[in-house]
Amino acid sequence: MKKMTALFAAAACGLMLGACGGAQEQQQQESKADEAAQTKHTVLVAYFSASEAHVTAQVAKNLAEAVDGDLFEIVPEQIYTAEDLDWNNEKSRSTVEMKDSAARPAVASKVENMGQYTTIYVGFPIWWYTAPRIINTFLEQYSLKGKTIIPFATSGGSGMGKSGEDLKKASAPDANWILPGKVLNGNPSIDSLKAWVATMKKTPAVSVK
């Protein structure tokens, strides 16, 4: 009988522990879900970077940190080789694409959760004084109505030119663009990126006809 009681007690305890464990697990799951909801970023930094130095990639990484946003790389289906990037060759892939405003090089990646973002920083290297055509491909994949888009770039010295206006007109006319955006050369510090972002927040979106 003593043995039976002990067995019963152990079984009851086991059941209780099971119940306790289940409740604890549920609580943990709930707090994890709360955490995820809190850290769900509304700002996206999407960038394309092609040269071996990956200049734009570095700036984009720092910018994502400065704005506490998510980072997304626009990856071409066909990676650009050094020959593809030769702007001295009129037959190189980049020259051919940039001469054709309708060129839309395919992308290999897609932002699955675009709906969660309200502000998108779009970064690219300046090619022939404007944005590479793959940025058009990227933008045209989504419904961007009402989202704020802020372009940034790196370059060999050129400014933003009409890159933002060109992108807005051709590929995301319904978005609220803050233009002209900014060339962020010289690997700016996180603090200086934060200062730029603060000025962007005060700049009204523009409409381009």
Ligand X SMILES: Cc1cc2nc3c(=O)[nH]c(=O)nc-3n(C[C@H](O)[C@H](O)[C@H](O)COP(=O)(O)O)c2cc1C
Q: Whole-number minimum distance, CB 80 to ligand X, in Å?
A: 8
**What does DSSP assign to residue 148?**
E
The answer to whether residue 136 forms part of the interface with ligand X (CB under 6 A) is: no
What CA–CA distance (Å, rounded) separates 107 from 26? 40
Contact set for ligand X, span 67-86 (CB under 6 A): 85
Contact set for ligand X, span 44-63 (CB under 6 A): 49-51, 53-57
The answer to whether residue 138 forms part of the interface with ligand X (CB under 6 A) is: no
Candidates 154, 163, 171, 176: give the one binding ligand X (CB under 6 A): 154
Residue 54 or 194: the one with the smaller Cβ distance to ligand X is 54
Candidates 137, 155, 163, 176: give the one binding ligand X (CB under 6 A): 155
Strands, E assignment, the chain: 43-47, 70-73, 119-125, 148-154, 176-177, 182-183
Q: Whole-number minimum distance, CB 87 to ligand X, in Å?
A: 4
Q: Whole-number minimum distance, CB 161 to ligand X, in Å?
A: 8
Candidates 1, 4, 88, 157: give the one binding ligand X (CB under 6 A): 157
Contact 70, 43 (CB under 8 A): yes
Amino acid at 57: A
Contact 98, 134 (CB under 8 A): no
Residue 147 or 153: the one with the smaller Cβ distance to ligand X is 153
Under the phi-then-psi rule, with left for phi > 0, alpha for psi from -120 to 50, and beta for the rest, what region is 124?
Answer: beta
Residue 61 or 147: the one with the smaller Cβ distance to ligand X is 61
What CA–CA distance (Å, rounded) separates 175 from 199? 19
Q: Whole-number minimum distance, CB 46 to ligand X, in Å?
A: 13
Residue 85 or 139: the one with the smaller Cβ distance to ligand X is 85
Q: What does residue 170 show for φ and ψ, rounded to 5 degrees?
A: -80, -35
Q: What is the Cα 183 distance to its own chain's centre?
A: 17
What CA–CA distance (Å, rounded) separates 7 from 45? 60
Residue 154 or 176: the one with the smaller Cβ distance to ligand X is 154
Candidates 129, 142, 194, 197: give the one binding ligand X (CB under 6 A): 129
What CA–CA distance (Å, rounded) separates 186 from 48? 17
| Site for ligand X, rule CB under 6 A | 49-51, 53-57, 85, 87, 94, 125-129, 154-158
